[in-house]
């Protein structure tokens, strides 16, 4: 015996899908939740430091630190007759003829205009507002940055700070949005005393 197939009632049709009101309510709820999540992301992004600014500041600091570290480190100024033979900063036969190299620039030396820095020591106290290259030409896009250099005697291994044979170089770069990078490096005195 077979059972009769059931037919949907014509008076109460089966409900399929969502009504228009349910769909509109769903869209409103999802939109409100999405707007809240996006607002949190926007606030987090606005309050965090821009990584591009930090990368630029780091590149400037690394470049300036390398420039300083590659300079000669001699007992005497580059124009002294004994610059390549001096074994101390004393004036005399084993030291400088007359021009001892001191911390900071001597005789009007600058980074980019003659007479130029000729020793690591000369960079002590150097600063620039707006980054410029060695020829004093502004680097595009870096006008909002500044850099400062300090050079001081340092203890390094068996070398004492008082000996003057090792220097601590600190480069500080400040950029937009309170971006700051501080890099330090050392420079030791070694023979021969190459002035170039």
Rounded Cα–Cα distance for residues 163 and 5 (Å): 107
Whether 151 is covered by a domain: the verdict is: yes
Whether 87 is covered by a domain: the verdict is: no
Whether 145 is covered by a domain: the verdict is: yes
Residue 139 sits in which domain range?
Answer: 51-74+112-188
Whether 167 is covered by a domain: the verdict is: yes
Whether 27 is covered by a domain: the verdict is: no
User: What's the pLDDT tens digit per position in 145-178?
Assistant: 999 999 998 888 888 788 778 899 999 999 988 8
Q: Which residue has the higher pLDDT, 49 or 34?
A: 34
User: What's the pLDDT tens digit per position in 87-124?
Assistant: 888 899 988 999 888 888 988 889 988 889 989 999 99
Sheet holding 127-129, edge to edge: 127-129, 146-153, 166-175, 179-188
Place of tokens 């001892």: 100
Q: Which residue has the higher pLDDT, 11 or 190?
A: 190
Whether 1 is covered by a domain: the verdict is: no
Domains in the chain: how many in total? 1
Whether 181 is covered by a domain: the verdict is: yes
pTM here? 0.71
Whether 194 is covered by a domain: the verdict is: no
The 8 Å CB, 24+ separation contacts for 139-143 are 141/56, 142/56, 142/60
């Amino acid at each position: 015996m077979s059972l009769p197939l059931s037919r949907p009632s014509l008076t109460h049709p089966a409900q399929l899908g969502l009504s228009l009101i349910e769909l509109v309510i769903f869209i409103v709820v999802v939109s409100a939740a999405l707007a809240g999540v996006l607002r949190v992301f926007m606030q987090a992004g606005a309050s965090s430091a821009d990584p591009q600014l930090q990368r630029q500041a780091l590149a400037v600091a690394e470049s300036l630190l390398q420039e300083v570290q590659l300079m000669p480190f001699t007992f005497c100024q580059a124009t002294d007759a004994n610059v390549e033979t001096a074994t101390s900063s004393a004036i005399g036969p084993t030291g400088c003829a007359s021009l001892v190299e001191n911390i900071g620039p001597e005789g009007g030396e600058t980074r980019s205009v003659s007479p130029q820095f000729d020793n690591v020591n000369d960079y002590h106290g150097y600063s620039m507002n707006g980054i410029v290259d060695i020829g004093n030409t502004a680097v595009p896009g870096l006008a909002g940055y500044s850099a400062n250099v300090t050079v001081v005697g340092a203890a390094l291994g068996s070398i004492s700070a008082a000996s003057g044979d090792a220097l601590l170089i600190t480069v500080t770069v400040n950029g937009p949005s309170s971006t700051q990078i501080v890099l330090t490096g050392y420079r030791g005195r070694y023979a021969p005393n190459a002035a170039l």
